[in-house]
Structure formats: structure tokens, C-alpha cells
A = this chain, B = another copy of it.
Amino acid sequence: MNATEYSYAFGGRDAALTVAPGTVVELTTEDCFGGAVKGPDDLPSQVCAFPYLNPVTGPIAVAGAEPGDAVAVHFVDIRPARDWAVSTTFPHFGALTATHTTAMLHPPLPEKVWMYDVDTERGICRFRARESDLEVELPLDPMHGTVGVAPAAGEVIMSITPGAHGGNMDTPEMRAGTTAYFPVNVPGGLVSIGDGHCRQGEGEVCGTAVEAAMSTVVVLDLVKGAAPAWPRLENDTHLMSTGSARPLEDAFRISQHDLVTWTSSLLGLDELDAYQLVSQTVLAPAGNVVDTNYTMLAKLPKTVLSGASAYDGVHDRLRETATGYLAQR
């Protein structure tokens, strides 16, 4: 799927493509600035026009998906499409600045652009300080900040907002090798993907990651009758629940509550027993603490699961599909 047309929201749009469950889809995504920030003088507040920020590619319908089902999005490959990437501050956006909702009388912090060199061969992107000569090579760890489905209740939600439909969760866990599960709210589910990052710290504290256009390969699949309340992730070592809300403790509560009830269900465990087991074993990293909702993750090591498997093993099957695809490429 070539991203020749972008959308800036989840919901309110017909499928651009419909695929059968299990299909491998190749797609491209633009960066969160729509590619408009190409150098240190391209200030986002000048070269981007609200609301045309954070374009997403899609939506893609999964044939047969009905409300109550889960769509699975397995990331096979996420590859920076250019040899540069970009990060910026943005007026009144970020965790260490007054914002339009954490409203204060401070003038905005300076708006600045950092250009990164991207070397996919060596697997690095290079940070270069603006006010001194420091350069630091950072490992590439490509991921998508924005992945989600059409929301419930007919809502149309800007692509910068994360929520129960997914969206702009901005977690570094959304990397190749991860399967994400979303609740289906409308026929087809309508998956959209965007906001590629060469890498991102947890919390995305300045408001933007190492933003890049991406060439991405996903497998889209369907799990009938398995809609989670909030997006869930799975990789080879961990199950993960997400919560996106404000204040941040509510994002934490949502993610932990979901993981406790999920664990209870997977292990046939009393809910308080699951609460206890999760309490001693969970990891709780921040996704983002800058967007219109904040995102927390609750990560459970699979070693705790006594062999139980989520969604009847769909992650393992999608891993096999991915392996087969990559072997043939």
C-alpha cells in the first residue's frame, strides 16, 4: 500500500484497502510533520498547518472483522525510508513546558529543530547538539508511535490522541516483532498506522521522537470475539496492557487493571491472586507523557504464565508468517 493520501484522524473515513485475515501488507508512512521539516530552519509551527499533523496511512479493513472481535497487527519490519530524521520542540507541547491544558503564563520554550543522520547499515542515528559540538550515535530501534482503529460510538479522533482505539500511544514497544491487538468497533476494524520513530525514549519528554518516514511491513489478522477493552501488545517475552488517560495514574490504573484481569483469565486465577502475582512481576514503563492522553504500559514476563498462551497462540503464528516473508524477500 503506497501512502499517496493521508488521513489525520481515526474514524470518519472508508477503507482505502481491504485484506483477508493473515495478509502481509507493505506500506509507507510519512513522518509526523508530513515531511515538511527538512532542516533546522523549518520550524514546525511555520511549515505545518494544524490540524494537518501526524498523518496516518490507511485505513485498512480486515475482512470479516465485526464489533466484538480483535484485529491483530503484527509488525514484521519497520525501516527508515530516508537517510535523515528530525526531532523538534514545539510551542506549548511537551512534558517540561506549559501547554494549552497545563496552562501557564510562561512564554513558550524556544522552538528548535534537531536533524539526525540515519544509517540503517550501521543501525544508528546520530544526535548533533545545536549549541555545541557534541555528537552521539544512538542505536536505531524503529517503531510506530501511532497505530489504531476506528473508535467506538462514531467518534472521529485526531491522530495525535491515544485512547481505547489505540492511536498515538507513542510507546517504543511498537517495534518489529510485536503484535498489537485492538478492539473492533466498526466492520473491518479500519487500521491506520503512522508516526514512525527511529527511536524514542519512554515518555517522549520533549514531545517528539526521532521522527522518520518509514517502509513498514505488517501482518493483519483477526481474532473472533476477543475484543480487548484497551489495546494490548505481545512480543516473544512479554504480554503488555496499555492505558491512555489523564492524569498519568489513571493510565497506570487502566493498564494494570487490564493486565490483572487478563492474567486472571489466562491462568484461571482468582482476581486477587492475579493482583498479587502481577504486583511482584510487572514492569510499568511510560509510553508518552506529552500527548492529549498519557500512555502507560503494564508488561508481564511470559515466564510467569506457566505455559498459558494468549489469543490461542496467534502471536507465534504471526511470527512464523513474518519469518517466511522475510526469508523470501
Contacts and interface: CB of A to CB of B under 8 A. Distances in A.
A327 interface: no
A256 B103 CA distance: 9
Contacts of A89: 272, 275-276
A282 B95 CA distance: 13
Interface in A262-293: 267-273, 275-286, 289
Contact of A154 (B12, B129, B132): B12
Given A103-B257, A205-B282, A273 B130 contact: yes
Nearest to A127: B277
Contact of A8 (B136, B153, B267, B281): B153
A212 to B, nearest CB: 12
Copies of this chain, complex-wide, total 4
A226 interface: no
Contacts of A208: 279
B201 A278 contact: yes
Contacts of A114: 276
Interface residues of A, number: 91
A260 B97 CA distance: 13
Given A283-B285, A284-B285, A153 B50 contact: yes
B105 A96 contact: yes
A202 interface: yes
Interface string A82-106: 0000010100001111101111111
A114 to B, nearest CB: 5
B202 A284 contact: yes
A6 B43 CA distance: 44
A314 interface: no
A214 B246 CA distance: 33
B201 A284 contact: yes
Contacts of A11: 156
Contacts of A117: none
Given A154-B156, A155-B158, A273-B134, A106 B106 contact: yes
Contacts of A144: none
A36 to B, nearest CB: 18
Interface string A53-71: 0000000000000000000
A252 B253 CA distance: 16
B96 A281 contact: no
Interface of A: 8-9, 11-12, 50-51, 87, 89, 94-98, 100-106, 109-110, 112, 114, 127, 129-132, 134, 136, 138, 152-158, 199-210, 229, 243, 245-250, 252-254, 256-258, 260, 267-273, 275-286, 289, 294, 296, 298, 304, 306
The 3 closest A-B pairs by CB, nearest first: A51-B153, A131-B270, A103-B257
